[in-house]
Structure 1
Amino acid sequence: MTSARTHRLDVAVTGLGLITPAGNGVDDNVERVWSGRSTARGTEALAGLPVDFSCQVEDFDADETLGRRLALRMDRVSHLGLAAARQAVTDAGLDPSTWDGARVAVVIGTSFGGSASFEREHETFLLRGASVVSPQLMTMAPVNMTAGFIAMDLKALGPNQVVSTACASGATAIGLGRMLLGSGACDVVLAGGAEAALTRTGIASLAKMGALSRRTDDPAGASRPFDAQRDGFVAGEGAGVLVLERAADARARGARVRAHVSGFGASADGHHPSAPHPDGAGAERAIRAALADALLEPRDVSHVNAHGTSTPMNDVTESRVISRVFGEHPVVTSTKGVIGHLIGAAGAVEAAYTVLAVQNGSVPPTANLVSLDDDVEVDVVAKEPRRLRIGAAVSNSFGFGGQNAVLVVTSA
């Protein structure tokens, strides 16, 4: 008979890096996300498509941030991921020139990798022939390359992994990073997600399958999680990276600890390529597994950062799962109303927002929530932030293929 576990693994979040439609860095993101102002707008590269708007990263110059020589070798997804990783390391007060790189791991989640480079070079191939296709495509497009470039740039020479669980990728990466620390395989993990897949082909496909909002006359009001008039999500791009360390190690070096990642749960729906399980069975298993990993009861959780995509099926199904597991007491939000759906980066960026909510005692509002859907029976924050002392919070991430990942964040 196996005895019940009595000790949980509290992993310290000592650094955050955020490059998102809400801004470049933590402060810009807090200002925009906590104000509840949408970032969606018409997108020139999507002109002429049935859905011609998105949430783009603005005011980010890869040449200026990374250096032109390095930037030319990378897809935009790696530009965003590496910039977020550099930010996170600086925020953690770590110096790659002095750390033991062999004890530093990288785990990055992404869904599409360098799809923009692949689409561009495929068009070149069709229009101009094989002789002008870039030889660098094979080091720009693969999904592993963002993690690889981070390792090269920051001399993070320990385990280097990429996970791809669709829209749960970033959260899965953080969960796996925590496992690496628990196993003793490394002492520091740069964990998160990156995505830059606002390509014409990708957006056309998402629009054709009915996943995207069609509010072309009102992009800023298009992403409206839990609202009765929601009609789909708004695609976005961005990156979020967290520096994770064992809590004892962080204390020993005198690091500022923003919060702890104290639990992780994952599951598969085994139901449908794109639709959630009708009663949310897989999501519920992941949530309960994360709570068990954190040695917490549902009553201990006061905030849920929902996956909250603004699609008709997800929002009702997820709200029912939240209500079934936690009851009516947790304060719920979805930050996709501001930044859209960052696909493979969504779980990492939303985990970072959950860390900030726990650290600052403030839950950001769900943008564009005007009239709560009658079938949504949870306490969703709207219009303005809500002050709240948060001992434990949950961040939900669900993806195509029925892949679910849930993180538990606790106060430091």
Structure 2
Amino acid sequence: MNSPVYITSIASVSPLGKTSEEIWERYKDPKHLISSHDFNGMTGYAAFLPKELKEELAQFRDSKPHFRNLDQSVLYAVFASREAVKRSGWSVGGNIGINIGSSRGATQLFEKYHASFLNLGKAEILASPSTTLGNISSWVAQDLQSSGPEISHSVTCSTGLHAVLNGIAWLQAGMADKFLVGGSEAALTPFTIAQMKAMKIYASQYLDFPCRALDMEKTRNSMTLGEAAGVLCLEKNPENSIAKIGGIGYATEKLKHSVSISANAECFQKSMKMAIGAIPLDEIDAVVMHAPGTQKGDKAEVNAIREVFGEQHPALTSNKWKIGHTFGASGILSLELAILMLQHQEFIPVPFSVFQKAPKQLKNILVNAVGFGGNAVSVLVNKS
């Protein structure tokens, strides 16, 4: 990185809730937030937003007429962005750059409009404008009345951390002073669950912990999905900040299959080394892993960490055992966990994992994400 970039606030909506206090308390509770649901006659395990937060978002949707035609992925992003900007102290209407992406975009509306097309033989009027991926950043910009650039993108499950890379690039190029970055995903639909099951990576047993992320002894895949939006406010020289981005890394590896990853996750090895830079390896205290709960995915990432750090690697954790995989928002929620651990100086382990030993301190935490296509991103975050 050419110059430091700071996080002045973070806000999210997820199965953990929305306030920093309730999110932290739920992280400290060793229970997961995944439950069994009926998706049009098909059973699937997923982590939804809490009932009270769903009700608040329903009222938020009704607060403005144009909100009623938005997909939930857009609504979640608008809601979280308002809170992030408020926490950062930014003025509404300022020159704020926005990059909020999504792996799947307007999933619920797209499936609704497609079902209507199959039934009626014609598309509804708002089918196209309300299902484009650009809806997310565009509507956040409309709501915040910002005048900066607006970017929406999909890099599958590493989308949120790629947004962080983009925001940093704009700031360091001097093309923006403030950037709002993140990811949003509301893809808990029958078709999405069916797609995950078709790849045979989805949890098929309701155990004490349906998602066995970082259980290195699991004998089957156990990925589950969750829904969430998370956004960060980034600045170069803020008066106040909650964390500093100490390094960024990215890499793409050659694939043998469209959803594969190499046994030692070469992409992660490269992205982690780039993010760490010249910092001594023994000063990295923890890694918040991507760890989706699949056998090959979890093992490959652990192998990559051992290749970089050796057997005396940092403490390892993940949040997907608790809230499921939130696709494009997942990297931001992992960053949120890292920031909370830095603030509270407390390590949150995976209850059933062998990687439970807490580090002596929490100063530098590495956050990983990877998506279909072999694209990995690592972000090093430390106390500001």
What displacement does 1:47 show? 4.3
Q: 1:221 aligns with which of 201, 209, 228?
A: 209
Instruction: Give the whole-Å Cα distance in 2 for the aligned partners of 1:68 and 1:155.
Output: 15
CA contact (8 A) 1:111 1:143 kept: no
Q: Deviations over 1:116-141 (max 9, x none)?
A: 111111111112332xx432222221
How do 1:11-410 and structure 2 match up within 5 A?
Answer: 11-44=5-38, 46-49=39-42, 51-58=43-50, 59-61=53-55, 62-66=57-61, 67-97=63-93, 101=94, 103-130=95-122, 133-215=123-205, 217-218=206-207, 221-227=209-215, 228-229=217-218, 231-246=221-236, 248=237, 250-251=238-239, 255=240, 257-271=241-255, 272-292=257-277, 295-327=278-310, 328-367=312-351, 369=352, 372=354, 380-381=355-356, 386=358, 388-410=360-382
Return the letter of the residue paired with 2:337.
Answer: Y
Instruction: Give the whole-Å Cα distance in 2 for the aligned partners of 1:268 and 1:353.
Output: 25
Instruction: Give the whole-Å Cα distance in 2 for the aligned partners of 1:335 and 1:365.
Output: 9
CA contact (8 A) 1:358 1:411 kept: yes
Instruction: Give the whole-Å Cα distance in 2 for the aligned partners of 1:180 and 1:26.
Output: 28
Return the letter of the residue paired with 1:331.
Answer: A
SS of residue paired to 1:190: strand
Instruction: Give the whole-Å Cα distance in 2 for the aligned partners of 1:156 and 1:350.
Output: 27
Return the letter of the residue paired with 2:87.
Answer: D
Unaligned runs of 5+ in 2: none
Return the letter of the residue paired with 1:405.
Answer: V
What corresponds to 1:375 in structure 2? none
Instruction: Give the whole-Å Cα distance in 2 for the aligned partners of 1:389 and 1:160.
Output: 38
What displacement does 1:203 show? 0.9
CA contact (8 A) 2:260 2:372 kept: yes
CA contact (8 A) 1:169 1:344 kept: yes
CA contact (8 A) 1:264 1:290 kept: yes
Q: Give the alignment's Cα RMSD to 1 decimal.
A: 1.8
- TM normalised by structure 2 equals 0.93
What displacement does 1:201 show? 1.2
Cα 1:68/1:197, change in 2 over 3 Å: same
Instruction: Give the whole-Å Cα distance in 2 for the aligned partners of 1:274 and 1:325.
Output: 23
Sequence identity of aligned pairs in percent? Answer: 25
What displacement does 1:308 show? 1.1
CA contact (8 A) 1:18 1:29 kept: no
- TM normalised by structure 1 equals 0.87
CA contact (8 A) 2:314 2:359 kept: no
SS of residue paired to 1:352: helix
